Amino acid sequence: MKSFVLSVMLLPMVCMADTPWGEINYKKVNAQAQKEYQVPLRPGTNGINPFWNTYAKKFIYAPAFDFAEQAGAKEYLFCIKDDDGHEWQMKAHSPKADLSPVWAKIPGGTDVTLKVYAVGADGQAQTTPIGERKFLRDYPFCGPYNQAVRPYKEAALKAMLFVHRLKNIQHWKDHQEPNMNYRHNTYACKIMGATIRNECMVAKYFPEERETALQMARNVAAFLKTISQPEGAPLAYFPPTYYKDLIASSRAENQDATMSMEAISMAWGLLDLYDATKDRQYYDWALNIANTYQRLQRADGSFPIKVTISTGQAVNQSNAMLYPLMCYLQRLNKEYGETKYEPMRLKGEKWMHEVAIRRFNMTGQFEDVTVLNLQPYENLTNCTAAPYADYLYSRKESTLQDLRDADDLMRLSEDQFTFWDMKPESNGIPKHTTPCVFEQYRYQMSVDNSACNVAGGFLAKYERTGDQLALAKAIALTNTITIVQNVCTGQIPTTWEQRTNVDAGLSFWLNCTVSSINMLLRMDEAMKGKPAFKFYS
């Protein structure tokens, strides 16, 4: 493959203070969206990445497919049909051509079948297609969508208190071990790290709860220390991804294994706890985790996706997506002046650019979904793409090529996982509350953390470039968080499917709620005190 020639030109940061929100002209941004959707997303014909959409189920951007050319063909006939018999046709000189000539004509929300036929020198199309794909031609962005039902900060505070007051979380007030009635505590790094972060936010925003919240956070940290690896071990200072034989931790593939990026979830909480208490032990622990990452990093800048605890060796050939570590090292540098980890961060960035983004294989890193024997592109996810785009937009040093990469990662996250609208089911109700974002190919479900990933990426793009369409998309997704939130309890459900069983409990992953809280606070800060529940149109 040809290597990228990186531009050394740095784009100026567009500061929110210098960029008034003003009014979003939805007629203008909707037209901009329609135009952008005509441009194919990283087609395999670009000479950079292979075709990445083998497992794709839907498209918002005009797609192109990896259909083989046929000897003797003069051109190719593309026939697209929906279930009602409507048909759209186009011709092209390559079976790998994108569908932009007819894309805008196909209504959003339409399930279609594409068949491509070779056309001979006599102008006649063969009767047997050389390629066929079924997919959803999904709805394009067409705002404005639902208004927020309460100010963003209020929604965030209600969600914080919901977590804080849960019986299984209040257990931490006078215990230094988890209450396993909340079964997701089996994911020690992710859930307990998020518990520390939530309690630190409660301590900040609710002075009357400060001492209780910080004691709870300290007790979580004390427990995690008892199950972390000792000094000198291959994974020194890392807590385990899995705790006890519950849920996915009982799978054989997870025995004596940990996801390599999971320690960041807890390390981030340690920094929050240090900021709140100024207790040096938490800061030193956070730095020791970074030191272990230094030892684990390979010469090319990469990390394995999962390693054995006893040896620190990779369990397979899959690589980790590095946005959690890059963001963590960026925080250590910006907030604490820790520059010694910059070489590690720069090596990681280089690998992400030259390998992960270049190949466009933003594979899933989920501890509750197998990572064994995954084929390239088999489990793409917004959860690796959008947060890394957010990171690239936020870097003052990002080059023009970095920002192009970020744009492509956001387009992937929207194209494959974002649903701006959905057709109703037979009962007249859409299956999911929209706008929403599905998590991954292997778990086709609207998830609040995924909505936060994409909203955050679009907000970062707006803050960097002033793109009003990106802002409109960020607002639309963030507003949905306030809509699905339980108005009485403050709970933000993790999944946003419309439930028919009134007795079914709402889904709840604590780490996802913390993501929603942070996104709501971030949007509140960006709004600079303006009402979150009004449109600027």
pLDDT tens digits for range 434-483: 999 999 999 999 999 999 999 999 999 999 999 999 999 999 999 999 99
What sign results for the dihedral spanned by CA atoms 451, 358, 306, 221? negative
Q: What pLDDT does 77 receive? A: 98
Secondary structure of residue 40 in the 3-state scheme: coil
- pLDDT at position 13 over 50: no
Q: Which residue has the higher pLDDT, 66 or 498?
A: 66
For the chain, the domains span 27-40+141-148+374-499+508-528, 61-137, 178-359
Place of tokens 């962005």: 141
Cβ atoms of residues 262 and 189 within 8 Å: yes
Q: Taking the model in full, what pTM does it have?
A: 0.93
Q: Is 306 exposed, middle or buried (0-12, 13-18, 19+ CB in 10 A)?
A: buried
CATH architecture of 61-137: Sandwich (2.60)
- Please name the residue that has the structure tokens 């990662």: 409
> Over 50: is that where the pLDDT of 53 sits?
yes
Predicted confidence at residue 523, as pLDDT, reads 96
Answer yes or no: is pLDDT of 57 > 80. yes
Beta strands in 83-160 (DSSP E): 87-92, 110-119, 131-137
Domain 178-359 adopts which CATH fold?
Glycosyltransferase (1.50.10)
Say if residue 237's pLDDT is above 50.
yes
CA pair distance 165, 175, nearest whole angstrom: 15
Q: What is the pLDDT of residue 248?
A: 54
Q: How far is 155 from 149, CA to CA, in rounded Å?
A: 9
Please check the confidence at residue 235 and state whether its pLDDT lies above 60.
yes
Question: Which residues is 91 bridged to in the sheet?
Answer: 77
C-alpha 252/C-alpha 400 separation (Å) is 45
CA separation for the pair 432, 370 (Å, rounded): 25
Burial 203-236 (b: 16+ CB within 10 A, else e): bebeeebbebbbebbbbbbebbeeebbeeeebbb
Q: What percent of the chain has pLDDT over 70?
A: 92
Counting residues of the chain whose pLDDT is more than 90, the rounded percentage is 86
Q: Which tens digits make up the pLDDT trace of 292-330?
A: 999 999 999 999 999 999 999 998 888 999 999 999 999
Chain-wide mean pLDDT for the chain? Answer: 92
Contact, 474 vs 462, CB < 8 A? Answer: yes
Mean pLDDT of the region 141-165: 96
Mean pLDDT over 145-155 rounds to: 95
pLDDT for residue 125 is more than 70: yes
* Least confident range of 118-127, 166-175, 283-292, 525-534: 525-534
**258/368: higher pLDDT:** 258
Cis peptide leading into 343, omega within 30 of 0?
no
pLDDT above 80: residue 536 = no
| Cα(64)–Cα(461) distance, integer angstroms | 26
Q: Does residue 534 have a pLDDT over 80?
A: no
The 10s digit of each residue's pLDDT in 351-393 is 999 999 999 999 999 888 887 788 899 999 999 999 999 999 9
Q: Determine the average pLDDT of the residues in 112-139.
A: 97
Q: What is the mean pLDDT of residues 228-238?
A: 97
* Confidence band of 255 (pLDDT split at 50, 70, 90): confident
